[in-house]
Amino acid sequence: MQNNIKERTFSFAVKIVQYVRTMPKGQIGYVLGTQLLRSGTSIGANVEEALGAKSRKEFINSMNIAKREARETRYWLKLLQEAAVGTSSICEELLREAEVITRILTAIVKTSQRNSSGRLILTTHNP
């Protein structure tokens, strides 16, 4: 079954928002939740921007930004997991999805950089 990266990153952003809503109140939950919310929702926004790119260079740049945001999101999720902030099972699930998204975005960027036909492929098999 093929999964569209646009839909996958949007769904991931929704899950991030829902997870942040469940985080403990207080300074730690607020600060870490804000960081996670920013990076986790930015992935899909940058994929959306890439889809509207007017050139291959713009497309690759936006996808690279999305990939960096996915890596940052993994960092915040790992920190939350290690510091035992929030629900660990949900955090673990989000961490796995962030890793898959990072791999997908990496593959899209590499393929786009190599692809000489001008055709950009935006779907991938679920790893």
Phi-psi region of 86 (alpha: psi -120 to 50; beta: other; left: phi over 0): left
Verdict on whether the full-model pTM lies above 0.75 = yes
Residue 1: the pLDDT is 25
Domain ranges of the chain: 2-125
pLDDT, one tens digit per residue, over 42-53 is 999 999 999 999
Domain at 2-125, CATH class: mainly alpha
Mean pLDDT for the chain overall: 88
